[in-house]
Amino acid sequence: MRILVLGGTGEARALAAALVADGMDVISSLAGRVQQPRRPEGSVRIGGFGGVDGLAAFLRDDDITAVVDATHPFAATITRNAAIGAEQVGVPRLVLRRPGWDIQSSWQVVADMPAAARAVRTWSGESVFLTTGRRDLAVFADDDRHRFLVRTVDPPEGPVPPQTTLLLDRGPYTLDGERALLREYGVGLLVTKNSGGSMTAAKLQAARELSVLVVMVQRPPLPEGSEVVATVADALAWIIRSGSGAG
Ligand code: NAP
């Protein structure tokens, strides 16, 4: 068996480590967006495939027997490409996706980033904490009324709001640290994607404690017909089943 793990998440790294420990042949694929990525165990390839056709060709040429899409819940393009490419080549595909955070009644849930920017624009307070990633900031760029604290792993791409304070950091984050940060910047509104998982969840608890409003961006839908598991253990079980022809 030769497994392609589409990565860029902690779950993908954990799966690669488990597959290597089981003596399986695994290639992890990273987009190459982060300057110093945390490297998974086993073989790693970095960079886009070149759309659906490139991904399908990779699956074929590298004799991949199963694909696990363990990308971030908001990486919708690669997830779509994997669904179409794997189907074209007839390679079984699984989505490993951590559950989203339970929606709190106090949150304002929005469908996408433009809706989040609209919600911020109508907010009468001053200080906004954006943890939506460095590539989604353009929708806030013409908001000159609010102060934005923007936390990203690498510097933002594209335009940012005029009153931006940039914080380069990478989780996991602690509750004490998040509480102190919200207080230091006088944050009144937090905007975040529903990424789920524990690495970045402390900000939500801190926001609750400090009565900071939360605008939560919903996940994009998965391609129709996707088989989804939430844990590395379930992904391993699926891989073993798919190898025995029962996948
Ligand atoms: P995306 O918008 O879904 O994908 C854009 C393009 O990037 C894809 O068409 C593909 O290029 C390439 N790509 C994405 N993931 C890849 C992978 N694992 N291996 C090879 N190529 C990949 O992706 P994104 O939202 O920019 O995310 C990029 C990476 O960062 C993903 O691996 C994701 O797991 C990770 N990540 C994303 C977020 C987020 O909020 N979006 C947060 C944390 C980590 P080609 O068309 O040329 O193949």
Task: Please report where in the chains the tokens 């994997």 appear, as a residue.
Answer: 82
Instruction: Name the residue with the closest Cα to ligand 1, atom 16.
Output: 31
114 shares a domain with 213:
yes
3-class secondary structure per residue, 74-90: CCHHHHHHHHHHHHHHC
In a domain, 50, yes or no: yes
Under the banding of pLDDT at 50, 70 and 90, the label for residue 63 is: very high
Mean pLDDT along residues 181-189: 98
How far, in Å, from the CA of 105 to the mean position of ligand 1?
31
Q: State pLDDT tens for residues 230-242.
A: 999 999 999 999 8
What confidence score (pLDDT) does residue 242 get? 87
Whether residues 138 and 212 share a domain: the answer is yes
Section 124-141 average pLDDT: 96
Q: Which two tokens stand for residue 210?
A: 């400090």
Given pLDDT bands bounded at 50, 70 and 90, which one contains residue 244?
Answer: low
Average pLDDT, the chain: 96
Tens digit of pLDDT for each residue in 87-124?
A: 999 999 999 999 999 999 999 999 999 999 999 999 99
Q: Which residues line ligand 1 (CB under 6 A)?
A: 6-9, 29-31, 33, 48-51, 54-55, 71-72, 74-78, 81, 133
Over range 41-46, report the average pLDDT.
97
Tell whether the model's pLDDT for residue 247 goes beyond 90. no
Is residue 17 over pLDDT 90? yes
Q: Compute the average pLDDT of residues 23-33.
A: 96
pLDDT of amino acid 246: 45
pTM of the model: 0.92
Domain containing residue 160: CATH number: 3.40.50
In contact, 52 and 77? CB cutoff 8 Å: no
**C-alpha to C-alpha distance for 11 and 162, rounded to whole angstroms:** 36
Q: How far is the centre of ligand 1, averaged over its atoms, from the C-alpha of 31 (Å)?
A: 5
Split into its structural domains, the chain has a count of 2
Q: What is the chain's length?
A: 247
Q: How confident is the model at residue 199 (pLDDT cuts 50, 70, 90)?
A: confident
- Provide the domain limits for residue 159: 108-217
94 lies in the same domain as 24: yes
Q: Which atom of ligand 1 is nearest to the CA of 81?
A: 9
Q: What is the number of the ligand 1 atom nearest to the C-alpha of 50?
A: 47
Of 78, 79, 191, 200, the one to substitute when testing ligand 1's pocket (max ligand atoms within 8 A of C-beta) is 78
User: Is residue 12 domain-resident?
Assistant: yes
Average pLDDT over residues 196-203: 92
**Any idea what the CATH number is for the domain that residue 227 is in?**
3.40.50.720
112 and 213 housed in the same domain? yes
In three state form, how does the secondary structure of 143-193 look?
CCCCEEEEEECCCCCCCCCCCEEEEECCCCCCHHHHHHHHHHCCCCEEEEE
Query: Do 177 and 94 share a structural domain?
Result: no
CA of 149 to the centre of ligand 1 (A): 24
Whether the CB-CB separation of 190 and 215 falls below 8 Å is answered with yes
Res 146 pLDDT > 70: yes
Name the closest-CA residue to atom 27, ligand 1.
75
Q: DSSP state, 19?
A: H
Co-location of 32 and 69 in the same domain: yes
Q: How many CA atoms lie within 13 A of 52 on its CB side?
A: 12
Tokens of 71: 């990308």
